[in-house]
């Protein structure tokens, strides 16, 4: 049977994108717009996440501008590629992973190639606006042609950096490689710090974060294959971030920091008490370890647990904490006054793969153990019903973030003292002289994978060691295009959420704000010499500040309409009550 023709992707015009943005700002749900336009919700989310550029382009087209505009427009895939690329760069930098110009260009080409798979082979539809794939080709006169490839040239990179304001990246000289000279130099610096502070191996700690797709399965498993066919949110792409920390002897393991996108997961119920968890729970929409989150963990978990460890073992109260240079890692001045006994030092850029102890197989070992525990749990729950439906039901309905935390806790406990101690060998070999054979014996990697494969086969799942190796590595590396798209959609959705007010604001005051806001825009657009820059500033203020109050007022107007509808009819008839409920549902 021949393959069905590939469905042509909907390409929005600039005016359509502007209309979608305006309707979301007025309170309409992205899911409703996705149904209306016949696209996925993530597509609408991508448009909303690019609203500043779209609105700026729309205003320029409507009002005219003295700024010279390119003779041809960019293909729409470029806008989405760059938006996803920015998210990827932010994610990599937040985790402290080195990002060079060459690394960015490689990822840009990869994202572009993935996005282009969604476009039909023929020329664009009549209602589309063809755009060039690379601004570096503007002088070659390929107006109106569909992009066949993307070079990610030096010219594109420098314009991309200028447009987005990305900092701390270089085009050449790094290529994302490890910095061996700086690593060697830091080894000497580290020894000087140790001698100066008089630290012992028990007093030296390292912490590092890692992303974990906690519900993901090997790509060839039928659960993954079935999940990929289902519409809506892909549960296997649900990611959290963990921060793991231990000292150089491996005797002190700190409670992990866990950052998830939900503040109160449904699995825990309304009486969710974060303080009782075996992890330090924090939440934000990107599941990132930010400076505020790290500072909380440092003062509320690391400091008291290390102090207790020192007290129990008669160790002098002073500690050295080594970190990589991720933006989410604060300096020592972020410590509470009572924690001045903690010294924070940072590893040089691009030395993580060489020196960072937690990155020396500790995190990989943890993820292998987590995967083994996950398959053991899967087998335990399904051993009475060894069929695909029972496994699938467990995966979709039973396994949740609450059980995930239980597995995380067990896996972290199973990371042995020997593993933690040996990880310091590249930076602090003196601490590892007695490491071989000391403490508990580590589970052999091949044995772990063999156990998982055997369990999977008992569940009629097609899994081998290569699949598991890829799974562990994938949980460690950067986000895929699909991950980035879903993250962009979630963030765009979050911008439309209305925060709960501590003190009610009068609707009349909000309307008055809109009146003054319109007057300010009219005045500046009439008299300011830099109209294009002013328009961009307006877009930013509208998206960050004014939009919140537009959504708030819109929600109040909807509620008022529903309340009037209920009070207008006398109670008593089931038909009227049902009609009222239907109206309330539609208004959401």
**What tens digit of pLDDT does each residue of 48-97 get?**
877 877 777 776 655 544 443 443 456 778 888 888 888 888 777 766 66
Residue 326's pLDDT band, with cuts at 50, 70 and 90, is confident
Highest mean predicted confidence (pLDDT) among 134-143, 435-444, 497-506: 435-444
Residue 321: its H or E element: strand 319-323
Give residue-wise pLDDT tens across range 214-233. 887 766 555 555 555 544 44
pLDDT at 34 > cutoff 80: yes
Strand pairing report for 342-346 and 204-213: unpaired
Torsion angle defined by CA atoms of residues 192, 196, 200 and 205, in that order, rounded to the nearest 10 degrees:
-70
Whole-number pLDDT of residue 518: 86
Of residues 171 and 309, more confidently modeled: 309
Pairing state of beta strands 257-260 and 239-247? antiparallel
Q: What mean pLDDT value characterizes the chain? A: 75
> 410-452 pLDDT, tens per residue?
999 999 999 999 999 999 999 986 544 444 555 667 788 888 8
Q: What is the pLDDT of residue 559?
A: 52
pLDDT of residue 92: 76
* pTM of the model as a whole: 0.62
pLDDT on residue 201: 96
Confidence grade of residue 343 (pLDDT, cut at 50, 70, 90): very high
Which H/E stretch holds residue 56?
helix 51-63
- Least confident range from 103-107, 159-163, 167-171, 303-307: namely 167-171
Residue 67 or residue 481, greater confidence: 481
CB < 8 Å & 24+ apart, contacts of 311-317: 313/202, 313/251, 315/200, 315/202, 315/203, 316/203, 317/341
> Which candidate, 435, 185, 411, places its Cα nearest to that of 279?
411
Helix (H) or strand (E) holding 418: helix 417-422
Asked whether residue 289 carries a pLDDT value surpassing 60, the answer given is: yes
H or E element at residue 90? helix 76-94
Cβ 576 vs Cβ 569: under 8 Å:
yes
Band of residue 138 on the pLDDT scale cut at 50, 70, 90: very low
Two tokens at 524?
């500046």
Average pLDDT over residues 331-340: 79
Q: CA angle, corner 185, sides to 179 and 186, nearest 5?
A: 85
Q: What is the mean pLDDT of residues 118-128?
A: 44
In percent, how much of the chain has pLDDT > 70? Answer: 69
Average pLDDT (177-206) is 91
Confidence band for 144, pLDDT divided at 50, 70 and 90: very low
Distances in Å between the Cα of 41 and the Cα atoms of 30, 179, 228, 455, 485 are 6, 42, 16, 37, 10
The per-residue pLDDT for range 351-398, each reduced to its tens digit, is 888 889 988 789 989 998 998 998 888 888 877 665 554 667 777 777
Q: Quick one: average pLDDT of 122-141?
A: 36
Type and span of the H or E element at 243: strand 239-247
Q: Categorize the per-residue pLDDT at 571 as very low, low, confident or very high, splitting at 50, 70 and 90.
A: very low
Residue 334 pLDDT more than 50? yes
- Is 345 in a helix, a strand, or coil? strand
Rounded to 5°, angle at Cα 479 from 131 and 236: 115
Q: How far apart are the first and last CA of the chain?
A: 44
Query: Cα 348–350–355 angle (5° rounding)?
Result: 70
Q: Between the CA of residue 347 and those of 183, 207, 487, 570, what are the distances in Å?
A: 8, 11, 29, 72
- The first and second tokens of residue 71, run together, are 């003779």
pLDDT of residue 423: 93
Instruction: Say if CB 146 and CB 129 are below 8 A apart.
Output: no
Give the model's pLDDT for residue 565.
43
CA-to-CA separations, 459 to 224, 230, 261, 463, 578, in angstroms, rounded: 14, 22, 31, 10, 47
State phi, psi for 343 to the nearest 5 degrees: -110, 130
DSSP type of residue 347: P
pLDDT level of residue 503 (50, 70, 90 thresholds): very low
pLDDT in tens, 388-417: 546 677 777 778 899 999 999 999 999 999
Joined together, the tokens standing for residue 258 give: 């866990």
d(CA 303, CA 339): 7
In sign, the C-alpha dihedral spanning 373, 378, 384, 388 is: negative
Q: Is 282 within 8 Å of 288 (Cβ atoms)?
A: no
Phi, psi of 145 (to 5 degrees): -90, 145
pLDDT at residue 429 in the model: 93
Q: Tell me the pLDDT band of 476, cut-offs 50, 70 and 90.
A: low
Q: Quote the pLDDT of residue 505.
A: 79
pLDDT of residue 583: 42
Average pLDDT over residues 154-181: 67
Q: Quick one: which H or E segment has residue 556?
A: helix 547-568
Nearest to 131 by CA among 70, 186, 191: 70
Q: At what angle do helices 445-458 and 465-476 cross, to 10 degrees?
A: 110
Residue the block writes with tokens 């019903």: 385
Percent of the chain with pLDDT over 90: 21
pLDDT digits (tens, 9 = 90+) for 222-268: 555 555 554 444 555 678 999 999 999 999 999 999 999 888 887 77
| Mean pLDDT of the region 542-558 | 74
Query: How many whole angstroms separate alpha carbon 250 and alpha carbon 131?
Result: 56
Among 98-102, 149-153, 249-253, the minimum mean pLDDT is found in 98-102
Arithmetic mean of pLDDT, 325-350: 82
Q: What is the pLDDT of residue 192?
A: 95
Q: Is the pLDDT of residue 316 over 90?
A: yes
């Amino acid at each position: 049977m021949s393959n069905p023709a590939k469905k042509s992707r909907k390409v929005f015009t600039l005016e359509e994108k502007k209309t979608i943005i305006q309707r979301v700002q007025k309170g309409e749900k992205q899911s409703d717009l996705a149904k209306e336009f016949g696209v996925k919700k993530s597509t609408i989310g991508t448009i909303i996440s690019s609203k500043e550029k779209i609105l700026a382009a729309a205003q320029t087209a409507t009002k005219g501008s003295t700024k010279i505009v390119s003779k041809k427009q960019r293909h729409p895939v470029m806008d989405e590629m760059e938006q996803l690329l920015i998210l990827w760069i932010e994610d990599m930098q937040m985790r402290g992973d080195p990002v060079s110009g060459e690394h960015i260009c490689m990822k840009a080409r990869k994202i572009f190639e993935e996005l282009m798979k969604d476009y039909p082979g023929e020329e664009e539809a009549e209602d589309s606006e063809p755009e060039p794939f690379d601004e570096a080709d503007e002088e070659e006169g390929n107006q109106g042609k569909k992009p066949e490839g993307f070079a990610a040239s030096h010219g594109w990179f420098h314009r991309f950096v200028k447009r987005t304001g990305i900092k701390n990246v270089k085009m050449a000289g790094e290529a994302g490689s490890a910095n061996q000279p700086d690593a060697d130099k830091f080894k000497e610096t580290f020894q000087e710090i140790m001698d100066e502070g008089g630290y012992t191996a028990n007093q030296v700690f390292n912490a590092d974060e890692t992303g974990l797709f906690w519900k993901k399965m090997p790509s060839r498993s039928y659960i993954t294959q079935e999940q990929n066919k289902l519409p809506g949110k892909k549960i296997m792409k649900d990611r959290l971030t963990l921060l793991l920390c231990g000292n150089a002897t491996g005797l002190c393991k700190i409670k992990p920091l866990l950052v998830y996108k939900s503040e109160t997961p449904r699995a825990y119920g309304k009486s969710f008490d974060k303080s009782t968890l075996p992890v330090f729970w924090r939440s934000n929409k990107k599941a990132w370890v930010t400076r505020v989150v790290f500072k909380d963990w440092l003062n509320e978990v690391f400091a008291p647990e290390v102090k207790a460890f020192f007290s129990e073992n008669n160790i002098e109260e002073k500690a050295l904490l080594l970190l990589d240079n991720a933006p989410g890692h604060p300096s020592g001045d972020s410590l509470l006054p009572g924690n001045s006994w903690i010294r924070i030092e940072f590893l040089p850029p691009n030395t993580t793969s060489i020196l960072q102890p937690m990155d020396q197989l500790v995190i990989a070992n943890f993820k292998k153990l987590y995967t083994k525990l996950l398959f053991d749990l899967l087998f335990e729950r399904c051993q009475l019903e060894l069929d695909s439906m029972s496994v699938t039901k467990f995966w979709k309905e039973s396994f949740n973030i609450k059980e995930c935390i239980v597995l995380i806790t067990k896996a972290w406990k199973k990371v042995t003292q020997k593993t933690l101690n040996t990880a310091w060998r590249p930076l602090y070999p003196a601490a590892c002289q007695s490491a071989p054979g000391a403490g508990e014996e580590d589970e052999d990697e091949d044995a772990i994978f063999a156990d998982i494969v055997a369990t999977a086969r008992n569940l009629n799942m097609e899994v081998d060691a290569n699949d598991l190796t890829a799974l562990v590595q994938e949980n460690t590396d950067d986000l895929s295009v699909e991950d980035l798209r879903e993250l962009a959609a979630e963030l765009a959705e979050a911008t439309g959420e209305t925060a709960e007010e501590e003190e009610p604001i009068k609707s009349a005051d909000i309307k008055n704000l809109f009146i003054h806001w319109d007057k300010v825009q009219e005045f500046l657009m009439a008299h300011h010499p830099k109209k294009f820059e002013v328009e961009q500033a307006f877009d930013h203020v509208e998206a960050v500040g004014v939009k919140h109050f537009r959504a708030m007022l819109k929600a109040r107007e909807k509620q008022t309409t529903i309340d009037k509808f209920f009070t207008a009819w006398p109670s008593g008839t089931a038909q009227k009550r049902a009609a009222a409920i239907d109206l309330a549902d539609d208004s959401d």
